[in-house]
Homo-oligomer: A and B are copies of this chain.
Amino acid sequence: MYMAVMAAEQYEMVVTAWVRLARGYTRILAMVEDELKARNLPELAWYDVLIELKRAHPEKLRPKDLQARLLLPQHGMSRLLDRMDAEKLVRREPCAEDRRGQLVSITTAGQEMVRRMWPVYRNGLRQALGQKLSERELDQVATILQKVERR
């Protein structure tokens, strides 16, 4: 328990480290979003939804499962799916077991969209991270962040 013995003046260090992390994250994702926009591709949230549905396929997912994975509120997911449905990238259908719910699946057009978005995402990561961090350093970040992930 690090913080239990952490002196007050060390908080500044934590803040600094975390803000730096935040800035790095923001900049890289912004770069990817810009690239996507320049190619008339949708935003990253769409990719996140599509990749979850693609991994689940041929299983279907409930909106509440997607919410939990993407950390979106119910109404946010509802409206995101509205837009993606309008573009025919996902399909919604009633759920037989729980008639309050729905089942969402990826369409053929959705799978094609994943294939078009992935190279942009990959290149963003490559440019932002790949040339600056060694394999060992990436490994360290992964390990450390995994600890934060486990609440």
A residues sitting closer than 8 Å to B (CB atoms) are 1-4, 6, 10-11, 13-18, 20-30, 71, 121-122, 125-126, 128-135, 137-142, 144-150
Contact = CB atoms under 8 A, between A and B. Distances in A.
Given A15-B125, A138-B14, A71 B28 contact: no
Contact of A22 (B2, B4, B6, B29): B29
Nearest to A8: B122
A149 B25 CA distance: 10
A129 B1 CA distance: 10
Which of A1, A71, A132, A135 has the most CB atoms of chain B within a 10 A radius of its CB?
Answer: A132
What are the 10 closest A-B residue pairs judged by CB atoms, nearest first?
A3-B130, A17-B142, A24-B148, A20-B145, A21-B145, A25-B25, A132-B147, A24-B145, A137-B144, A3-B131
A138 to B, nearest CB: 5
B20 A138 contact: no
